[in-house]
Structure 1
């Protein structure tokens, strides 16, 4: 491929090909990929290349074994990357998740195309085969030190020993090959994630922290806090769902009729089990997946949002959503949540997995009364204005792209 004709123009307005393998279920990473696309034209230009995990669930898809092999190198995905590069003539590639369909071979293809890569860090890959390091109810961080075996034996990826083993082997081969030298910058969504990747061996000068931005409402609507606390997210164990339910059992026993309601909004693999548990409780209700106005109404009417994650949450955009409605947050001191929830100012932090402490924090929130909770929520909204400005994010992101284009 011929080099782009105007290096000066590239530095002023880098052209980016964004590469993303969409998951079977949408989530925060996909939301952010879409957001970057919407920023195109504001200091940089974005084209998209997307692979779909659903491609391997349809009729005519490769066998499970062939799929596992192609996680390492998928020739068809390399062809698509070359075609997209030929079409858009980018100055650099922006990688998000690229497996399973995209394949780890895209790093090698980027090197062959002589294009630098900026890698967004949304999870713990390429050190964790599952991306979460979540195994049998706890975080096993051996992958950061070259030991993915807890995840392998725990069948952490797609509940399969073989597939987890193969991904772990592929990642180990990738890390040892020098191919990742093509990644010129790693963008961490929190200082917590930056520290973990540096501890895993990524040079500190290559890892930058850039938290997601947020376009807040002009002003929070007047308070009309209802009687409920709100969990909003995917129903999976690592989100701390069962810690939260245990906390509410404590509250129901301790407070009786004065116990506040908990509304659980979301869907996921644990949905049936959680619904069964909630059926035996008096002050908890599940409402399923919500979006749009119903979701806004739940946020607007809640006393506080609960984020009880027991895995290492990279950032936790749900905190931004709560602050957008001037609502405080009761969160686990887990990962990036410690950087967005300020103890006693915008919410409370509890030890991950500790239902007693979570219950105590809910009682503390109740003792504040409506005025105290609103004061916390307003402090959260102010944090959002000061720390999640889209203009600041655009300036910093453009600077990262320019620095890579200059290298």
Structure 2
């Protein structure tokens, strides 16, 4: 089977969740002895890679011959549109002709644009199938796919009035055109994948066809042994049995909720609750206003410390230094990888009480739910986690090992094969009828 996988950005340049999952899935299929050939193509902009005049395709980091970068500097984020369709066609045309993929898997329309689906459909060999994964809510929400209103409240889904309130600078016609054009563009795909039931249901509630969306969960790389439950001799509660060390892991931005975690930590310190909050992650590309808020919140939380950026190799050690992994995101999330990483290393998770994160974390079984965006509610849950005897051990015992990338690759390959068999059956049907 030949697979062309496309995603915005390369994880070695920007390790976002979608990029990490897309590349990990491709490598598991490509390197797992499954007979898969293909190419992993990542779109990049001037923010991540310097432009080389006259060159759209570039070598990807690491020098792998089956990974490449595609220079796409122009993009309309409201309509998810790529205006340089001529340059895209001139590049993708020869590439698709040479590769002759059986499956083209688009992991996100960002940078590529929704027009690329129709373009790929024209370029693909007869019988090839186009698959698109809905990694987030971008196709539903023009505010960066957050489904989050300007007043901070969660949004159940798009509607003409709600969308105009969030983006009043856009006309009603723009909002209507966006909804209709995106739904029509995704109709060019043979199948859609959702990593969570919650995400699938949001799209169905917005009028998308449920029969076209298959839920295939995300996974994390395996291989390293589980972290010990607690490094001996570390932390104020090592001898007392308290489990009072909390870790935030991920990019530091407003939507991931570090301000909620810091405000909760400040409340715990004011109430005399012993604990430690470690924040791991960088602050790249964040607006000055948010960075000022973050610094002020950090200064107001004496038990908190920001440890800065980290790479994948450091993740096990940083998780091992904590008792709890916190996911205080103020939006629904979809299927955050940090939850799966925490479970792989035997750490219970405290997360918001809605969305894909709440779907992954079973309240009272392998983690705890806290009210989204509510620092006081978060402080109550964290105080319970730090002080309730036996709670941590009970939740650790309830953790199920998350799926690995090999499992994810096997599920996707089975899904691809079923799509190709359906295509083959349809192609034979007219001849059979004549006979």
> Structure 1 length normalisation: TM-score?
0.82
Q: Secondary structure at the match of 1:404?
A: helix
Instruction: Choose which of 2, 6, 29 in structure 2 pairs with 1:40.
Output: 29
Distance change >3 Å, CA 278–CA 390, structure 1 → 2: closer
My pick for the range that moved more, 271-280 or 243-252, is 271-280
Corresponding residue for residue 158 of structure 2: 143
Corresponding residue for residue 91 of structure 2: 80
Corresponding residue for residue 156 of structure 1: none
Any unmatched runs of 5+ in structure 1? 1-13, 154-160
My pick for the range that moved more, 297-306 or 350-359, is 350-359
1:166 deviation in Å?
11
CA contact (8 A) 2:278 2:305 kept: yes
Corresponding residue for residue 297 of structure 2: 277
RMSD of equivalent CA atoms: 3.2
Instruction: Choose which of 185, 202, 221 in structure 1 pairs with 2:208.
Output: 202
Q: What does 1:6-405 correspond to in 2, within 5 Å?
A: 14-22=1-9, 25-41=14-30, 42=32, 43=34, 44-54=36-46, 67-68=75-76, 71-72=82-83, 74-100=85-111, 102-113=112-123, 115-129=128-142, 130-136=144-150, 137-143=152-158, 148-153=163-168, 171-172=178-179, 174-175=181-182, 178-217=184-223, 219-224=225-230, 226-227=234-235, 228-255=245-272, 258-268=273-283, 269=286, 270-292=290-312, 294-369=314-389, 372-380=391-399, 383-385=400-402, 388-405=403-420
Q: Secondary structure at the match of 1:214?
A: coil
1:241 deviation in Å?
1.9
Structure in which a larger fraction of residues adopt helix? 1
Q: For the residues of structure 2 that align with 1:73 and 1:133, how far apart are their CA atoms?
A: 28
1:400 deviation in Å?
1.5
1:171 deviation in Å?
3.5
For 1:73-126, what per-residue CA distance to the aligned partner results, in whole angstroms no more than 9, with x for missing partners?
A: 5221122221221111011210112333x2222112123235532111111132
Any unmatched runs of 5+ in structure 2? 55-72, 236-244, 424-435
Distance change >3 Å, CA 141–CA 83, structure 1 → 2: farther
Q: Secondary structure at the match of 1:134?
A: coil
Distance change >3 Å, CA 37–CA 216, structure 1 → 2: closer
Q: For the residues of structure 2 that align with 1:179 and 1:293, how far apart are their CA atoms?
A: 39
> Structure 2 length normalisation: TM-score?
0.77
Distance change >3 Å, CA 252–CA 167, structure 1 → 2: farther
Q: For the residues of structure 2 that align with 1:392 and 1:197, how far apart are their CA atoms?
A: 25
Distance change >3 Å, CA 170–CA 28, structure 1 → 2: farther
Q: Secondary structure at the match of 1:344?
A: coil
1:290 deviation in Å?
1.9
1:195 deviation in Å?
0.7
CA contact (8 A) 2:197 2:215 kept: yes
Distance change >3 Å, CA 116–CA 169, structure 1 → 2: farther
Q: For the residues of structure 2 that align with 1:111 and 1:146, how far apart are their CA atoms?
A: 34
Corresponding residue for residue 3 of structure 1: none
